[in-house]
Amino acid sequence: MKGARFLAASLPTAEKFWWEGTMEGPSGHSSSAKTASFQDAVRMLNTLQTNASYLEQAKRQRGDPQTQLEAMELYLARSGLQVEDLDRLNIIHVTGTKGKGSTCAFTECILRSYGLKTGFFSSPHLVQVRERIRINGQPISPDLFTKYFWRLYHRLEETKDGSCVSMPPYFRFLTLMAFHVFLQEKVDLAVVEVGIGGAYDCTNIIRKPVVCGVSSLGIDHTSLLGDTVEKIAWQKGGIFKQGVPAFTVLQPEGPLAVLRDRAQQISCPLYLCPPLEALEEGGLPLTLGLEGEHQRSNAALALQLAHCWLQWQDHHDAGELKESRPGLLWQLPLAPVFQPTSHMRLGLRNTEWLGRTQVLRRGPLTWYLDGAHTPSSVQACVRWFCQALQGRERLSSGTEVRVLLFNTTGDRDSAVLLKLLQPCQFNYAVFCPNLTEVSSTGNADQQNFTVTLDQVLLRCLEHQQHWNCLDEEQASPALWSAPSPELAGPASLLLVPHPPHSSASSLVFSCISHALQWISQGRDPVFQPPSSPKSLLTHPVARSGASVLHEAAAVHVLVTGSLHLVGGVLKLLEPALSQ
């Protein structure tokens, strides 16, 4: 990367650029954060490609993925930073297939409980894009986001030449922006969640993290990372660095062996986390802010990451060791067993991570929100949902209704995911795109330029077809009958005729708002849209279902399959998140 280093040498220092440079708005003229609005910045950001198009680009270029890391280093240099500057962030770098975001959230909250100033970069966002860049657990403010966005955007514009593309894609831009924000806001540490994979993820320009973590591995992004867990493990192990300690949770033997080999090849000390029960022995049980049995594995990894970081800092309260000579398992040394400190307990208890095993209780309605989107994470979601139903207060009278609200995107196999959800015994299965409204022009955070409404609705119809086939154990010849003309408008309820003897009716709506209106029947005290389209009750299943939902003593709604879907639901159910 000589070119990147040469270019960086000719640029002003990061400090000079970020604090002496003017901020320009969309017009190119100097302006204040108040003039260049947050929504203007987000709209401009959206033009840099969304995650879907980034995936397509990465698939085409994966023959030489190393060049993508080099390109990221060049973007970093053009922004006024060198990779060595990132060492000052004292980074905790975390990857995995499921649970990596929750692990990061636990880790950040634990270290924040020590009074440290934390940075946290994660993806995707649920409601507002600024959620991806957090300081002390809170998304950066709209003004701060706007300020840093335009400074980086115009700096990259100023340093472009004929040999390079002026702007990085969406995720890379946000990664660069997070590094600048954390450096300029002088955080004590940064928890950085990998976007996709690890080896060739743009966050992997980090050269000297303090510690690395790998959460549970499974199958996801197969067209990009490989079609076996072993291939995916090789990608995830790509974040290991020579001499930098790394921790992982118990994995199947095959992928664990791949991680072990990856670590040995570069002299990375890799440790296997003992279960949370080992840290609880002889003390009080640990209380977690996130529900679900699977969160205990994430919390165990987070405790090791935080403990290692504190030891690296020679912190006096890093946790007293219980065992001085840890054993071996699968030829990997076990991470130390220590007594969690009061700060660690507080951090675990106070952790919040929206859209993951989250419950909202609203009168007769209970919303269960979990962005599970891989087979293993959906299995964990089903266990959590069923356990939550078993632990609920029993009704003395009246009916209970279970509703599934589902969507999934990308190359994920919805038939596999839906089959895993069958044991929940839903009365209704509802499918809709990840659009809060049919038109998202008024909300830049929800815009996606890479797909059309027709494309996402067809995908929902495919989900419904899979569900109906699973429900009936045979395909119905009527499944793909065309909707009647009066239902064809964009604001309509789109339905495929349902088999006559099915135990659970299925519906497809054109947006999240319409789906929630039908499910809630005006009974959610917070979600009160001004009026419902008449088309929501056009179909007989919708009419009969509306009556059932309106009269039910309790309605339990599981929202899953996509974090983007969960984000859209949260936007409508929790309006304060948009403010």
Q: Is 211 helix (H, G, I), strand (E, B) or coil?
A: strand
Largest CA distance in the chain: 75
Residues 6+ apart with CB under 8 A from 473: none
What contacts 24+ positions apart, CB below 8 Å, involve 415-418? Answer: 415/466, 415/469, 415/470, 416/375, 417/373, 417/375, 417/378, 417/561, 418/463, 418/466, 418/467, 418/470
Assign residue 208 a region: left if phi > 0, alpha if psi is -120 to 50, beta otherwise?
Answer: beta
DSSP 69: H
DSSP 281: T
Strands 400-406 and 493-494: unpaired
Picking from 240, 246, 218, the residue whose alpha carbon sits closest to that of residue 231 is 218
Query: How far apart, in whole angstroms, are the C-alpha atoms of residue 171 and residue 484?
Result: 41
Query: How far apart, in whole angstroms, are the C-alpha atoms of residue 190 and residue 178?
Result: 9
Would the annotation count 60 as a binding residue?
Answer: no
How many angstroms from the chain centroid is the CA of residue 169?
18
Would the annotation count 370 as a binding residue?
Answer: yes
Query: How far apart, in whole angstroms, are the C-alpha atoms of residue 61 and residue 354?
Result: 34
Residue with tokens 């996606």: 448
Sign of CA dihedral 163, 165, 167, 170: negative
Would the annotation count 392 as a binding residue?
Answer: no
Query: How far apart, in whole angstroms, are the C-alpha atoms of residue 524 and residue 414?
Result: 29
- CB neighbourhood size of 130 (10 A): 22
CA geometry: angle 221, 434, 203, nearest 5 deg? 40
- CB neighbourhood size of 67 (10 A): 11
Query: How far apart, in whole angstroms, are the C-alpha atoms of residue 111 and residue 245?
Result: 18
Would the annotation count 157 as a binding residue?
Answer: no
- CB neighbourhood size of 12 (10 A): 12
Would the annotation count 356 as a binding residue?
Answer: yes
CA geometry: angle 104, 122, 279, nearest 5 deg? 5
> Binding-site residues for ATP, please?
356, 370
Q: Which residues are annotated as a binding site?
A: 123, 193, 221, 356, 370
Binding residues for Mg(2+): 123, 193, 221
